[in-house]
Amino acid sequence: MEYLVQFQLNIYALIILAILYVAIIVRFQVNHIEKKLIEGVILFLGLAIIVEPLTWIFDGTSFFGAYFLEYSTNFILLLFAPIIAGLMLSYVDYYIFKDSKRLSKRYYYLWPALLLFILLVINIFYPIFFSIDKATNVYKVENLIWIQYLMIVLYYLYMIVFSLINRKKTFRHAIVIFFVFFSLPLFGMVIQLAFSDFFFSWTSIVLGVLVIYIFLESTSGERDYLTKLYSRQSYEKYVLHLIDREKPFSILFIDLDNLKGINDKLGHFRGDQVLVEFGRTLIKTFKPNPMVSRLAGDEFTVVVENETDLDSAITEVYKILESYNDEAIKTLQFSYGYQAYEEKMTVDELYVKADKKMYIKKEEHRTKYSK
């Protein structure tokens, strides 16, 4: 009972992780890299939360195998910290760049864990981090334990800097979530160093994982999975809301001219990157209009609620696209139809009128570029 009281935070954290794991398994039945990385974090984090109390329970005990159990649990606990941090950073890297080859080249940011593993092996023969007295089985901190703490602190600080440097490559709300994701473990580490009997370093990471799941992985059908723009369902609900409130607005319907050619020539991964960057370009151009959505494939809409010079806006879109170094994005062409809402018009009628205007533009482009 004494241990249950002492490590009750660990028990609550373990329950949260179990619920999260089941939720991920049930909700995401199709395997993908983000899912695997989160599952990896949950697995190692769960094991760390179980192992942490064992290091205290075995400390100073005397029975056959007690020394091995005390040493191995402390060994594992120190090693898991950079493994979990590496998987967390891998998740953020993939969320931003959507490139598994990039992660492979960076060894999934697990090289600090490999370095620490080598140091822990050295620690067996020449104690630099910790030692276990063979007679009393008592744990003792050695002089160079600060290296492990410094490594983890630098790891999380690097994660925060990494997110800030790449903030323009993803959405603002995601950067805020990443900042919380990485700040919580630092906060937990400081708390536990200040109050050694308050076991919060691992449970703080659980809170970070919970934040990631709630705000980035549980977006239901409101957001498009690839571009993180609003979905068609969100677009239609928002338009119905504006109609119900009798607010003036217009829609800009956009269709990319040659996404199929990009997919056929450069591959679908590059085609997906084009879709993501085009979505970000629309957000930059039409801010502060809140509803920028991807309807399907290479079709996008912007609900325009403020006075907008359409020609200037389209020019700005091309200007931003031309600033990219990626030739596929730099030379991207698109067709569009612009339609203001008229009284008693339905959502479908609004869409059809904008769609017809878009196809007129598309025919103009075909005629222009076929000459």
Q: Which string of DSSP letters, residue by residue, matches 112-142?
A: HHHHHHHHHHHHHHS-SSEEE-TTT--EEE-
d(CA 46, CA 14): 6
Does the pLDDT at position 38 exceed 80?
Answer: yes
Does the pLDDT at position 112 exceed 90?
Answer: yes
Question: Which one, of 45, 50, 55, lies nearest residue 11 by Cα?
Answer: 50
Output DSSP code: residue 335: E
Q: Is 252 left (phi over 0), alpha (psi -120 to 50) or beta?
A: beta
d(CA 94, CA 102): 8
d(CA 358, CA 254): 7
236-264 mean pLDDT: 86
Domains recognised in the chain with CATH numbers: 2-217 (1.20.1070), 232-370 (3.30.70.270)
Pairing between strand 139-141 and 292-296? unpaired
Q: Which long-range contacts (CB under 8 A, 24 or more apart) does 221-225 make?
A: 224/293, 224/294
What does the pLDDT look like over 286-313, one tens digit per residue? 888 778 999 888 899 999 988 778 889 9
Residue 16: per-residue pLDDT: 92
Q: If you average pLDDT over every residue of the chain, what do you get?
A: 87
Model confidence at 221, pLDDT cuts 50, 70, 90, reads low
Q: Which two tokens stand for residue 188?
A: 């937990």
Model confidence at 188, pLDDT cuts 50, 70, 90, reads confident
Q: Is 308 left (phi over 0), alpha (psi -120 to 50) or beta?
A: beta
pTM of the predicted structure, to 2 decimals: 0.72
Model confidence at 5, pLDDT cuts 50, 70, 90, reads very low
